[in-house]
Amino acid sequence: MIEALSRVEAAPLRAAGATRVRDWLARSLEALSREAHVRGQPEASRVSTEAPLDTRHAPLDPSTLGSLLSPEVLRDAIETSCEVRGELAAAQAQLAGRAPVGRVGLVLPGNVETAIVRPLVWALLARDAVAIRVSSRHAGIAPRLHAQLLAHDAELSRAVAVLRTAREDHDALRALSRWADRLHVWGSDATVAELARLTDRELMAHGTGLSLALVTREAAARADRLDDALARLALDVARYDQRGCLSPQVCLVEEGGAIEPSRWARGLHTALEALGPRFPRGAITPEERAAERLHRDAALAIGAELWVGADHAVSLERGAIRRCPTVRNLAVHVMSRAEIVGLAARLGPQLKSVGVLDDADVAPVSAWLGTRAHVVPFGRMQTPSLLAPADGAPPWHGLVA
């Protein structure tokens, strides 16, 4: 690992013009997206005129990435993450006059396969040298993205290294910590605390987070769009099988609106059921299976309404909010505006995103929640813009001096 770190060199990247860097990233992301799309299609459906793929990689198969996601969900995750390439010029403009940190270490989580895209793109636009530490068992797409970067500009790619190590390899983390001027760590609060004990360096921690879906009173005026909104929220729930911090963990229906909570919950169940065949849930762990069973049994025990599908469940509950066990299990709660504001305040920086019915709700909800959480319409909770804030801070935070 120390040898790999010694080869990382950002000088060519810092000497390159803005257009060259932007085009390098855009071509690499486009190639990764095309690879995911084409390799996920049946052979007979492929278009013969498509550009050749990088044959060094196996066909898109979640198991090759250590992923539990289905091929359909994994392909969507890769394609939507790569869509940020259209925002590269705007991102470069926001970095004007900002100096690179120098050497940046990125320690990735194991539950969101595409988490590397945004921080890596920002770090390279900032002209940092980057070392990415991934799990040897669950590497995500970092090695494939690195391969595309290398294929599209080998000289600039000297600024990036991907280090595959076992989680138990504490010496590797210490070496990365000594090398990096800034070390970013994603994962649960427990994981971040565990890694912090291994180094005397300050970490840029991206810890435990959750997100909420919110149906406001004002949304009632647009109830004619209900089916579309439910379909978009179902997609937010299904992406990454609800494991990411941008996945909605609970849906709040503000009391006093014309959208009846039971109708909303039942409609969400129907939307998830319709989505299932073309966007199937992937494998789940024994621990997740047990948590799912316990959550559903508890819903019945407390008298909640419960709708169960082949790979999801939606409950309508009253009383204390229970965090759902992910893997497409969502509770709907009815709350007053004051209670919703209070909940957001208690969650503080742990609240990462709030999904709302449509664009008309974004500004007012942002204002009355008074939170750093990113407020977006349903369907975009899991696919943030490259320019969107992260953890309540500018997306380049910790990647420029």
Q: pLDDT tens digits for the chain (401 residues)? A: 678 898 999 999 999 999 999 999 999 999 999 988 765 554 333 332 233 333 334 445 666 677 899 999 999 999 999 999 999 999 999 999 999 999 999 998 777 789 999 999 999 999 999 999 988 778 889 999 999 999 999 999 999 999 998 878 888 888 999 999 999 998 888 888 888 888 877 889 888 889 999 999 988 656 567 899 999 999 999 999 999 899 999 999 999 888 899 999 999 999 999 999 999 999 999 999 999 999 999 999 999 999 999 999 999 998 889 888 899 999 999 999 999 999 999 999 889 999 999 999 999 999 999 877 899 999 999 999 999 998 888 999 999 98
Domain ranges (residues) in the chain = 2-206, 210-377
pLDDT tens-digit series, residues 342-395: 999 999 988 999 999 999 999 999 999 987 789 999 999 999 999 999 888 899
What distance lies between CA 270 and its chain's CA centroid?
Answer: 25
Query: Residue 357: what pLDDT?
Result: 93
Exposure pattern of 128-144 as b/e (b: 16+ CB <10 Å)? bbbbbbbbeebbbbbbb
- Cβ-proximal residues to 363 (8 Å cutoff; 6+ apart), any chain: none
Exposure pattern of 351-374 as b/e (b: 16+ CB <10 Å)? bbbbbbbeeebbeebbeebebebb
Query: Residue 113: what pLDDT?
Result: 83
Query: Residue 44: what pLDDT?
Result: 34
Note the pTM of the prediction, 2 decimals.
0.90
Three state DSSP letters for 260-319: CHHHHHHHHHHHHHHHCCCCCCCCCCHHHHHHHHHHHHHHHHCCCEEEECCCCEEEEECC
Rounded distance between C-alpha atoms, residue 134 and residue 176, angstroms: 12
Which three-class secondary structure state does DSSP give residue 181?
coil
Query: Residue 257: what pLDDT?
Result: 86
What tokens were used for 384?
């943030």
Architecture in CATH for domain 2-206: 3-Layer(aba) Sandwich (3.40)
Query: Residue 64: what pLDDT?
Result: 67
Rounded distance between C-alpha atoms, residue 384 and residue 119, angstroms: 12
Q: Are strands 248-254 and 351-356 parallel, antiparallel or unpaired?
A: unpaired
Q: Which long-range contacts (C-beta less than 8 Å, at least 24 apart) are formed by 170-176?
A: 170/198, 172/1, 172/133, 173/107, 173/133, 173/198, 173/199, 174/198, 174/199, 175/1, 175/2, 175/5, 176/1, 176/5, 176/105, 176/107, 176/131, 176/133
Spell out the alpha helix ranges (H) of 7-131. Answer: 11-15, 18-39, 71-82, 88-94, 117-125
For the chain, give the mean pLDDT. 89
Domain topology for 210-377: Aldehyde Dehydrogenase; Chain A, domain 2 (3.40.309)
Query: How far is residue 314 from each of residues 23, 294, 301, 307, measured CA to CA in Å?
Result: 44, 14, 15, 5
What tokens were used for 220?
């009632």
Which three-class secondary structure state does DSSP give residue 136?
coil
What tokens were used for 165?
């190590």
Cβ(134)–Cβ(65) below 8 Å: no
